[in-house]
Structure 1
């Protein structure tokens, strides 16, 4: 039996969500993110030619940082991401078949949850960490309430509505992983603009944790 992969210890546990990124720009954007300090990049599967982008990022940065996909909704898609070199599987929901495939392929997993039922099911299926999504609905206090019933040591992420301005609130609630979407990247944003937003996110996270 294959054991699930745990969430790795990252200096900056910030997942850059590149929804809508084009394959011909993804390497330059990846370079900017890595230079800023990001250690995880997700290309949602509803982006243009996402597997091409994932493959290019994995070849360029896959040995140093986590590269993978978001919006993974089927076991077949999960396998395709792994075949492209992706090591990170992020989903908006808890699907036991998807998680089983990801575990079998040795991937780091971050399934989306909202309730204690979903959270505990995801852990039973081998989730590396739990993605509370959309985090803005529960807020720090709601996520903290669910965390109270989770096994000790469970890593929790907040995605959806997280920004540089509210990192500290989520950190205070025990959240240790963050997915950054439109506050970090929007289609059409230049590498210069990405360098600015990436640096600002890193600075805000450092401030939130008192580093």
Structure 2
């Protein structure tokens, strides 16, 4: 018998963590505010991965509806809208959505809608593409596949990231399990890219990004329709 899904439990923990515990830290990380060298490397890595995922989409997104799944403070929303997309940015953390709202340039406000919701909710409607940058990295394989299946039912292209299984990241993950703390961030679950490729038809791997303690692998799921 298959183990019960932990998607909802993980999602609920992410909501509490990013809306309260880590809200200010993420606001600073995703701005141009001074941060530590470690976080500066993470910021640089996220910038590179954002560009990598955008390369999986057409340069001109005019007339296309795009879901930014797990939009956080809205950097990807702005980048997608700058390319002409009608963007729906969804996140579990209202505090981060408030930051995103405050950062939207005036000329893009009519093209971006921000909502507090589960990113896989079919009530969000149909899209031409979904982008999920670092919003699926906390889920184990059955929940990752389930979430991708739901997102793939909403759009023919899902550009997303995983935390690739590397020796350093695996060691960090094990250390987190060995020394649990009630207030630590939700665990990142590394996956071997080849295992993700085998998990669903229509999957391809993009470029990896490594910057300091930031490890991310671009992936894409293409579905008929």
Q: Same fold (TM over 0.5)?
A: no
Give the structure-2-normalised TM-score.
0.30
Q: Work out which of the two has the higher radius of gyration on C-alpha atoms and give 1 or 2.
A: 2
